[in-house]
Structure 1
């Protein structure tokens, strides 16, 4: 084999030997290229090892960066980076410049990462700068998904949102400017992805019909997750004004199903960032739990589901490529986060070593408060009634025919319990 390689090398380096080169068989040429690439890879690994010995880890990092840049430039030029089989890299290629298309052994892990990225879905987030939308964008990008964010250009006039969009770009997120009212921008964005996640706010719930129409026209979406992230709107015991929003979400569900679009509905429970600092008094919008007094609704024993926004996103991203969640409701009901208002207050009192003064608010008093409170706070007071008085999240049993529970599907996700979340405020 060595004579074959050395002989071939000498003939290639000698312009007068081209005619003789043609006398080799295809098998001999293939054998040469496989051997040559293996030799080059081994030499490069040795060179990197020498650099580490002589110049330390910094030199290795610089060398790996140089080769990675070469790898990316060459792969983008030739288009073969989508191949996930390592054996393919050792095969001779016909395009010009193939002698540069090799990857040293320490880049195998990088190739595996690319292969993994090819297996994960490309995700578009609509409502990307909102409360949960921004967490979805960041989580998607950091978990290796090719991530796209639909952003209204007008939102960039807000310095906070403009800075947020820049942070998305730093994570490698592709920003697409458009809106729900611009069908062309919607279709253009959706055609680039496999999964669409909507995180639009309450006023735009019914506007999601535009997304449904664009998905139907695009014809390439494997999964649509509409803006839910709260209660199961098909099994709610809510009253007005909370009920109206839930009805709107249910209408979007029916439109998705009628259009035969693959879906997953995420029923996440309450956002810990909103619910826990208030100890269930959502309308107060507190940044830290009170240390003096608290209102307890009804008897305080109604069970809520409370999850951090980050955990909600972690479970959601697990579900987008999971066939077990296809056309199902994903309930995020981890056992440690099924808590009553009394549970939260007790945990907080234990942490601060103090008993809070408690005022008990009857259901009748709460209903009167809902009627007397104007929008948008009446929605939050109504949510208190739905969640803490009527136990909306736990008023039914999850049946496999329509739903699955996230912490059972993905036990590897280490979620934050309400107890642990409260530690942030001690």
Structure 2
């Protein structure tokens, strides 16, 4: 790795208009302590999300339009920045290999954050065979074998509570679901299995805190989260905030594993969701310790706040006719 860990000052984000990228970008903008913030986007996205990009430009963000698969476009973009933050989605994760190689050769880029937000893909020996981990594992392997000059950080956040504490329609509800309108819940496992969650807003906040903290090794993995809880504790908070007793059913680990296998064998798009939630329920987010303290212990959202958001979102959607 590089002999020192320079402080990131000019940050370029890939995938900034995606699910988690927009939260990361907003946290960077809100911090107001970076000399320059930019996003790299395609011509198609620039046209399709024109209003979104106009809004981020108004916040002082530089929008770089180019082809992520063209080395010349990426290298040119890198020239104005010193740090790359990737929020690319699971389907294009391997694109990061070329982004890393171009960054390694860049005279300006010294820091790179790959798209790692989620379950630790090297948590245990069994992690090496989990299907959803395979592309991210290829990226980590490439970094270990080929990236020598960049300071690389994996920000491991565990699952997003915003997505878990909500209603899932139809068969998807088998993998855990909370419906504030109908006062119904499907709990995973025994209901007492602990899971560490991170809110999507906190992913951005924790990443910014990490950027502001010296990296003493590379690659480094930072295990961070917002809170640790159980399905029963989540249910209790929902019942408290809705002032009602909910109708509850369970998807045991045995059923979850059976559904996962059927989904994998049948090419069901829900297969990844089954696998990830089976990993959580088995304890795959219960790390020996978390690293929030290493990055200044930024204040994170609570379970109570997340449930409040979920209830308000569901009620507002129902009243406006969205649901």
For Structure 1 versus Structure 2, the TM-score category normalised by the shorter chain is 0.7 to 0.9
Query: C-alpha separation between the residues in 1 aligned to 2:213 and 2:13?
Result: 18
Instruction: Identify the match of residue 329 of structure 1 among 221, 230, 236.
Output: 221
Deviations 1:376-406, CA, capped at 9 Å, x for gaps:
2221122111112x11110x424xxxxx612
Aligned to 2:321: none
2:275 matches 1:382: yes
Question: Which one has more relative contact order, counting CA pairs under 8 Å at least 6 apart?
Answer: 2
Instruction: Identify the match of residue 156 of structure 1 among 37, 43, 46.
Output: 46
Are the aligned partners of 1:333 and 1:406 in contact in 2 as well (CA < 8 Å)?
A: yes
The answer for unaligned runs of 5 or more in structure 2 is 1-6, 313-323
Query: C-alpha separation between the residues in 2 aligned to 1:231 and 1:238?
Result: 13
2:156 matches 1:267: yes
Query: C-alpha separation between the residues in 2 aligned to 1:355 and 1:415?
Result: 28
Query: C-alpha separation between the residues in 2 aligned to 1:303 and 1:378?
Result: 22
Query: C-alpha separation between the residues in 2 aligned to 1:126 and 1:309?
Result: 17
By how many angstroms is 1:237 displaced?
7.2
2:148 matches 1:257: no
Q: Residues 29-108 of structure 1: matches in 2 within 5 Å?
A: none
SS in 2 for 1:163: helix
Deviations 1:339-380, CA, capped at 9 Å, x for gaps:
111111111112112222222222221122223334422211
Greater helix proportion: 1
Query: C-alpha separation between the residues in 1 aligned to 2:161 and 2:251?
Result: 22
Q: Which has the larger radius of gyration?
A: 1
Instruction: Identify the match of residue 133 of structure 2 among 242, 246, 251.
Output: 246
Query: C-alpha separation between the residues in 1 aligned to 2:52 and 2:124?
Result: 34
What is the root-mean-square deviation of aligned Cα atoms in Å? Answer: 2.7
Are the aligned partners of 1:306 and 1:418 in contact in 2 as well (CA < 8 Å)?
A: no
Relative distance call for 1:384 and 1:166 in structure 2 (3 A) is same
TM-score, structure 1 normalization: 0.64
Query: C-alpha separation between the residues in 2 aligned to 1:321 and 1:264?
Result: 12
Query: C-alpha separation between the residues in 1 aligned to 2:195 and 2:69?
Result: 36
Deviating beyond 4 angstroms after TM superposition, the runs of 4 or more aligned structure 1 residues are 236-240, 284-288
TM-score, structure 2 normalization: 0.83
Aligned to 1:409: 295
SS in 2 for 1:301: coil
